[in-house]
Structure 1
């Protein structure tokens, strides 16, 4: 994304402050558009932009927020909820026949169909449980997460949560599927050994060639079914989750909350703070 002459004249610190300002604007706009005062159950994800989501919610005041319960995806969001003085609740305590009214979360990469890669913070399973428990899932991020195809800019690989005893077998299966150097995520430099999730499992990061969209194959582009390591998002997601030993994957795909009442993995909208201080909105069904 090219910068204007006036932007290029800004110092590194000024550019960083502008991006932070735009992330805050994106978060506040998302809350304004999708958090209704009548809501009772709200999911809160993780990431630097979600910090501003919680700030925006808290600024609504206790008259509105005291009637709401907030459900975290991990320790970071739990701490954000508590620090803001909001009511903390846990997704396992939500009745199985109930839904969150809305969930806000970030992403590591977002394609033009609003498919996501998530799990850079190793909370992908909790994040998917919260997202799919919501009637509407809203993504809030910054411009660096926008990508034409998943795997274009996020080169670390698709996060996959696996049982420790199955890790070596899963790695071998991923290599056979065309993954480019999949590996168990290390805890270094802060922790010796691998990252262990809140669920007592390991994370494998599996890079693949950029994932095709359904429209690519419909327009005549060959592949997408794994041949030569080329996959569509949906085909790869289905194949990964079927590997024995895999608990969950960091591909959020399929339906959005406008297409199904619950269980959607894709957001209905994504708000991005831009490099120039503006906000870009991508909505399911068109921008």
Structure 2
């Protein structure tokens, strides 16, 4: 391991799998992110790995499933998932999450919503007293491409301090395109007092596919700490 944090991420991921993986699981959701790499690694070590199918939340998690010799399926085939593991960009004590920094938020939410149990695995930098406190890039919002001007206007009316159409950077001239061929807006609302209310307000806007606010979805969050230890938050 290259650092105590990396060791802790691995410990957190392994513990999350060991403590929560259902005995007779048939369908498992696997997300993306630097800590979920170790979740896939641990699941790939299970002796019964041929007895269940893994559902990805995007391209990266599809590769994790394949690389660890796991059986790959699609949510269209398996809409009922026994348990899903995923990372997060920020987590508050009520286990509200901001997700979508990696641009997979809709598929991540679809898999989490389909799962009987949803477990978050992350590192200590994702722990927060309130959403928007440490994750300052804004709430990721997936939108239909031609709605970006109208939705941007509406987000400012809802109290956003800044709204950015996420760009591809050096890799691409123009906006990021999601796995669903949509655009992403990042809307900074500062510290969010009521994540569920804000999610509903944004979701109701015409053109919005979904938001990176995940509320009342996760049951546990495992964090790899800077000290090399693991912290568990649960509701």
| Superposed pair shares fold, TM > 0.5 | yes
Matches of residues 237-252 of structure 1 in structure 2 within 5 Å?
237-252=199-214
Residue 29 of structure 2 corresponds to: 43
Of 233, 253, 257, 2:195 maps to 233
What does 1:1-287 align with in structure 2 at a 5 Å threshold? 17-61=3-47, 64-95=48-79, 99-212=80-193, 232-253=194-215, 255=216, 266-284=217-235
Contact kept? 2:136, 2:190, Cα under 8 Å: no
Residue 234 of structure 1 and its aligned partner are, at CA, apart by 1.5
Q: Distance in 2 between matches of 1:131 and 1:202?
A: 21
* Cα displacement (A) at 1:28: 0.3
Deviation at 1:190, TM superposition (A): 1.4
Deviation (angstroms), 1:37: 2.8
Gaps of 5+ in 1: 1-13, 213-231, 256-265
SS of the equivalent of 1:37 reads coil
1:223-258 Cα deviation digits (max 9, x unpaired): xxxxxxxxx1121111000001101110001x3xxx
String of CA shifts for 1:163-189, please: whole Å, max 9, x gaps: 111100000011111111101000012
Write the distance in 2 (CA, Å) between the matches of 1:58 and 1:245.
39
CA distance in 1, matches of 2:179, 2:196: 27
> TM (normalized to structure 2)?
0.98
SS at match of 1:182: strand
What is the deviation of 1:36? 2.2
With structure 1 as the length reference, what TM-score do the two structures score?
0.80
RMSD of aligned alpha carbons = 1.0
In the alignment of these two chains, the number of paired residues is 235
Q: CA deviation at 1:135?
A: 0.2
| 1:60 Cα deviation from its structure 2 partner | 1.7
Residues in 1 aligned to 2:199 and 2:130: alpha-carbon distance in whole angstroms:
14
Higher CA-based Rg: 1
- List 4+ stretches of structure 1 deviating above 4 A: none
Distance in 2 (alpha carbons) for counterparts of 1:30 and 1:90 = 23
Is the contact between residue 33 and residue 87 of structure 2 (CA under 8 Å) also seen in structure 1? Answer: yes
Greater percentage in strand: 2
Q: Distance in 2 between matches of 1:177 and 1:38?
A: 45
Instruction: Give ranges in structure 2 of 5+ residues lacking alignment.
Output: none
